[in-house]
């Protein structure tokens, strides 16, 4: 597996080398060097936090251009349920789905269909009681990657079922082959995505050898195209084939509610997510059956490639739900199809370890602590690392120098005139007058 | 053999910060690449000791020593001491007040949990003087894994 194939990218020309992104990254994967941010690929989980926070819009999600549609004879769009939340005053999902057929797609297959099937499969597996509790949802790829990097001992809790996106794609291709008689490779299956994490999950699948998708377009790129068509629609097709359960996956709590159980937690927003993962690790949540985890605030409607505010989108969806049946998709014979299961478990990535063996790591940690004590503890970021401790770690890993810290500069240069050269916040305080 | 020593002063007046030290130790142990189960045992045992120190003893100090074979946690406080240790070790025994209970503590499971997750526990306590709890957790060699 290639861990370096990310979809969060830096636009060097736009980057001014500020400190906003390094502070927000949940895996401390960004450093600023020579005036530009750089992402440490082994650590990046593609959560998109840096895209959200960059004032220069220098971080972007690498996504497909609509030109690639030309490579396929038959194109199927797979809208994420979060797409429906973007539209104000939408009464009928069919309007959105019909519009897809006017912007270059031959068919649509709702990801909420996949979500309803995954919900049913999860219900079955929980009932059988074979899963390690609390079961952690695996639909958010940013969360799966976070677990791999920061919480590898929780890997055995992760639900090893296809995400709704992958399940929908698998079924969409089967249906398209049946409908058209074309070869599977002539069919293009495209996800309409709320986030870069899902794009990476196509290039670098989670639990699968190969993704069932051929590409992804961002909700915010598709939205204006759809809107233009929706405004001039007279008739809409009967395309919607999912209900409250499937569409509910767009917001935090939807995947949990679909399990029809009480002992669950739905956590969203990367900081809350980290806290809850810590608690699972410390066995404080052993009485919980299921934990739904979304990296984005509010769930996928909070994805960085959405157009609408997540809280507003949630209210749009509440309005839409009123007209929907509970669920439209069910597993045949109450059995989890083999193809819905993952091929492989998540694999731990041990990028956080200081050294391969504990003895060496102990020596480095001692050195790290000594250096960290010498550093001022301001976490100002001017050294390019997110915190003083992170700089100390970079130093012992041989990636930075103590002289990267402005304070080191100030104090090591005994020359008092040097004081004037450092910025005001970092100058030495004047000596206090002795009070008798 | 290398030994890493960590020291934490636990502020007994700020309940909202209880548990921070054990969180920090967990992060250090992950960076060291210690066996995952040992990390879990250390985090849980130290967390319970740290919380007790804040709830029942008004704070104190924690010293942690880490080698590749053993993690030793020494929790020292100058609180009221424990009158009957074997009673305190019983599951469900607690003297926690109602307002502490309303925060979800006071189930009387802390000390029993320490015993469950530690390989060795020694409690040295004197009423009116204070309590020292020494917890040892063995670290299996995990260099063969991964
Ligand atoms: N450091 C300490 N100083 C004084 N008394 C203590 C100390 N630690 C524990 N105790 C006493 O032992 C009792 C049992 O402790 P234990 O940690 O098992 O339960 P708890 O703290 O009351 O509840 P829980 O840990 O489940 O939240 C406490 O209620 C308290 O009376
Ligand atoms: S919560 Fe949803 S939108 Fe956000 S990263 Fe995860 S899958 Fe993507
Ligand atoms: Mg306790």
Residue in A closest to B141 by C-alpha? A358
Residue B59 parent element (H or E): strand B59-66
Read off the tokens for A124.
Answer: 């079955």
Q: Is the pLDDT of residue B67 over 90?
A: yes
Q: What is the CA radius of gyration of chain B?
A: 15
Q: Which two tokens stand for residue A348?
A: 């731990």
Whether B92 is in a domain gets the answer: yes
Strands laid side by side in the A107-108 sheet: A107-108, A74-79, A187-193, A215-218
- Cα(A412)–Cα(A393) distance, rounded to whole angstroms? 21
Strand B130-138 versus strand B70-77 pairing type: antiparallel
H-run or E-run covering B24: helix B20-32
A365 touches chain B (CB under 8 A): yes
pLDDT at site B145: 47
| Residue B83 alpha carbon to ligand 1 centre in Å | 11
DSSP state of A158: B
Of B6, B26, B31, the CB nearest to A354: B31
Q: Whats the size of chain A, residue-wise?
A: 436
CB-CB neighbors (< 8 A) of B26 in chain A: 278, 281-282
* C-alpha of residue B48 to centroid of ligand 1, in Å: 9
- List the single residue in A278, A348, A353 with the smallest CB-CB distance to B31: A353
Within 10 A of A69 (CB to CB), how many other CB atoms are there? 19
Q: So what's the pLDDT on residue A435? A: 58
d(CA A116, CA B114): 43
Quote ipTM for the complex: 0.82
Three-state SS at A400: coil
CB contact under 8 A, B26 and A355: no
**Out of B6, B30, B47, closest to residue A282 by CB:** B47
- Per the domain annotation, does B9 fall within a domain? yes
Separation of alpha carbons A121 and A255, rounded Å:
12
Q: What is the dihedral of CA A82, A88, A91, A94, to 10 degrees?
A: -50
Residue B111: which domain range? 4-138
Minimum distance, in Å, between the CA of residue B69 and any CA atom of chain A: 9
Ligand 2 centre distance from Cα of residue B3 (Å): 42
Our CA dihedral for A389, A392, A396, A402, rounded to 10 degrees, sits at 170
Using a CB cutoff of 5 Å, list residues around ligand 3, an ion. B 52, 110
Residue nearest to atom 2 of ligand 2 (CA): A300
* pLDDT of B143 higher than 70: no
Name the CA dihedral angle for A382, A384, A387, A393, rounded to a multiple of 10 degrees. Answer: -130
Q: Is residue B52 part of a domain?
A: yes
B30 within domain boundaries: yes
Give CA–CA dist A198/A46, Å, rounded. Answer: 9
Q: Is the Cβ–Cβ distance between A236 and A226 less than 8 Å?
A: no
Nearest CA in chain A to B1: A359
Report the C-alpha gap between A97 and A238 in whole angstroms: 9
pLDDT tens series, chain A, 436 aa: 344 578 888 888 999 999 999 999 999 999 999 899 999 998 999 999 999 999 988 888 888 899 999 999 999 999 999 999 999 989 899 999 999 999 999 999 999 999 999 999 999 999 998 899 999 999 999 999 999 999 999 999 999 999 999 999 999 999 999 999 999 999 999 999 999 999 999 999 999 999 999 999 999 999 999 999 998 888 878 899 999 999 999 999 999 999 988 899 999 999 999 999 999 999 899 999 999 999 999 999 999 999 999 999 999 999 998 889 999 999 998 899 999 999 999 998 888 899 999 999 999 999 999 999 999 899 999 999 999 999 999 999 999 999 899 887 777 655 666 666 777 777 777 766 655 5
Helices A219-230 and A93-100: angle between axes, nearest 10 degrees: 100
| Centroid of ligand 1 to alpha carbon of A77 (angstroms) | 59
Residue B99 lies in a domain: yes
CB contact A359 to B (< 8 Å) = yes
What is the value of pTM for the model shown?
Answer: 0.87
Tokens 């919980």 found at: A288
Cα of A269 to ligand 2 centre, how many Å? 10
Q: What's the full length of chain B, in residues?
A: 146
> What structural domains and CATH numbers belong to chain A?
8-61 (3.30.70.20), 66-340 (no CATH), 358-426 (1.10.15)
pLDDT at B146: 44
DSSP characters over A172-236: HHHHHHHHH---GGGEEEEEEES-HHHHHHHHS-SSSSS-S-SEEEEHHHHHHHHHHHHTT-S--
- Nearest to residue A189, comparing CAs of A79, A305, A61? A79
pLDDT at res. A204: 92
Helix, strand, coil share (%) of chain A residues, nearest 5: 45, 10, 45
Phi, psi angle pair for A359, to nearest 5°: -55, -50
CA A150 to chain centre: 14
Residue B44 sits in a domain whose CATH number is: 3.30.565.10
* Residue B10 within a domain: yes
Q: A194: Cβ below 6 Å to ligand 2?
A: yes
Shortest CA gap A202–chain B (Å): 26
pLDDT (tens digit per residue) in B74-94? 999 999 999 999 999 999 999
**A178/chain B closest Cα distance in angstroms:** 44
> How many structural domains compose chain B?
1
Chain B CB contacts of A282 below 8 Å: 26, 40, 43-44, 47
Coil/strand/helix, residue A33 = strand
Mean pLDDT of B14-35: 92
Closest alpha carbon within chain A to B113: A283
Is A355's CB within 8 Å of B33's CB? yes
How far is the C-alpha of B67 from the C-alpha of B6, rounded, in Å? 12
């Amino acid at each position: 597996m290639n861990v370096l194939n990310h979809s969060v990218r830096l636009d060097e020309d736009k980057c001014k080398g500020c400190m906003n992104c390094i502070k927000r990254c949940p895996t401390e994967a960004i450093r600023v060097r020579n005036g530009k941010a750089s992402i440490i690929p082994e650590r990046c989980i593609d959560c998109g936090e840096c895209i959200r926070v960059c004032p220069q819009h220098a971080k972007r999600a690498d996504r497909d251009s609509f030109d690639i549609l030309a490579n396929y004879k038959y194109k199927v769009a797979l809208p994420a349920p979060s797409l429906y939340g973007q539209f104000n005053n939408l009464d009928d999902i069919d309007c959105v789905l019909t519009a897809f057929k006017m912007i270059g797609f031959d068919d649509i297959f709702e990801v909420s269909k996949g979500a309803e099937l995954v919900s049913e499969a999860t219900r079955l597996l929980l009932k059988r009681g074979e899963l390690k509790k609390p079961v952690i949802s695996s639909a958010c790829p940013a969360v799966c990657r976070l677990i791999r990097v920061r919480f590898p001992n929780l890997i055995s809790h992760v639900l090893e079922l296809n995400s709704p996106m992958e399940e929908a794609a698998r079924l969409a291709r089967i249906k398209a082959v049946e409908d058209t008689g074309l070869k599977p490779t002539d069919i293009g299956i495209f996800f309409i995505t709320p986030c870069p994490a899902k794009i990476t999950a196509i290039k670098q699948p989670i639990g699968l050898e190969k993704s069932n998708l051929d590409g992804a377009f961002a909700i915010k790129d598709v939205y204006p195209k759809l809107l233009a068509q929706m405004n001039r629609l007279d008739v809409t097709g009967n395309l919607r084939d999912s209900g409250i359960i499937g569409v509910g996956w767009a917001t935090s709590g939807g995947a949990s509610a679909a399990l029809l159980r009480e002992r669950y937690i739905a956590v969203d927003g990367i900081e809350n997510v980290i806290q809850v993962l810590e608690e699972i690790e410390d066995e404080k949540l052993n009485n919980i059956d299921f934990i739904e985890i979304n990296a984005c605030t509010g769930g996928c409607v909070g994805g960085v490639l959405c157009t609408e505010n997540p809280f507003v989108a949630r209210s749009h969806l509440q309005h839409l739900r009123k007209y929907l049946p509970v669920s439209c998709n069910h597993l045949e014979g109450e059995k989890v199809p083999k193809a819905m299961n993952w091929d492989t478990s998540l694999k731990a990535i041990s990028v956080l370890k200081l050294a391969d063996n504990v003895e060496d790591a102990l020596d480095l940690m001692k050195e790290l602590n000594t250096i960290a004590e010498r550093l001022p503890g301001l976490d100002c970021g001017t050294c390019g690392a997110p915190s003083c401790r992170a700089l100390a770690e970079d130093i012992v890993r041989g990636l930075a120098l103590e002289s990267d810290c402005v304070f080191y500069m100030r104090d090591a240069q005994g020359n008092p005139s040097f004081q004037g050269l450092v910025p005001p916040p970092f100058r030495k305080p004047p000596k206090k007058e002795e009070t008798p | 053999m290398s030994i890493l020593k960590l020291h934490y002063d636990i502020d007994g007046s700020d309940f909202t910060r209880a548990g921070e030290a054990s969180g920090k130790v967990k992060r250090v142990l992950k960076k060291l690449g210690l066996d995952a189960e040992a990390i879990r045992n250390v985090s849980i045992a130290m967390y319970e000791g740290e919380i007790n120190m804040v709830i029942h003893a008004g704070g104190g100090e924690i010293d942690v020593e880490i080698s590749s074979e053993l993690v030793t946690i020494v929790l020292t406080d100058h609180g009221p001491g424990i009158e009957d240790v074997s009673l305190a070790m019983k599951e469900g025994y607690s003297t926690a007040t109602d307002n502490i209970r309303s925060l979800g503590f006071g189930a009387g499971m802390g000390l029993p949990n320490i015993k469950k997750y530690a390989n060795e526990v020694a409690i040295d306590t004197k009423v009116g003087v204070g309590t020292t709890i020494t917890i040892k957790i063995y670290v299996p060699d995990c260099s063969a894994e991964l």
